[in-house]
Amino acid sequence: MKILNFGSLNIDYTYDVPYFVRSGETLSCTGMRKYSGGKGLNQSVALARCGASVWHAGAVGRADGAFLVQELEAAGVHTDFIAQLDGPTGHAIIQRAKSGENCILLHGGANQRVTRQMADRVLEHFEEGDFLVLQNEISEVGYIMEKAREKGMKIFLNPSPMNEKVFSYPLQCVDCFLLNEVEASGLCGAREGGEALLKKTAERFPKADIVLTLGGEGSYLYRQGRILKQEAFPAKALDTTAAGDTFTGYFIGGTAQGLRAAEAMSLASRAAAIAVSRYGAAPSIPRREEI
From the candidates 130, 209, 239, 245, which is the catalytic residue? 245
Angle of helix 39-50 versus helix 261-275 axis, rounded to 10: 120
Provide CB contacts within 8 A for 113, sequence distance 6+: 59, 85, 87, 139
Give the Cα separation of 243 and 91 in Å (integer): 18
What is the residue type of 135? Q
Q: What are phi and psi of 31, to 5 degrees?
A: -175, 155
Is 275:251 a contact under the CB 8 Å cutoff? no
232 burial (CB, 10 Å; 0-12 / 13-18 / 19+) is middle
Told to judge if 86 belongs to the known catalytic residues of this protein, a careful annotator would answer no
For the annotated catalytic residues, the residue numbers are 245
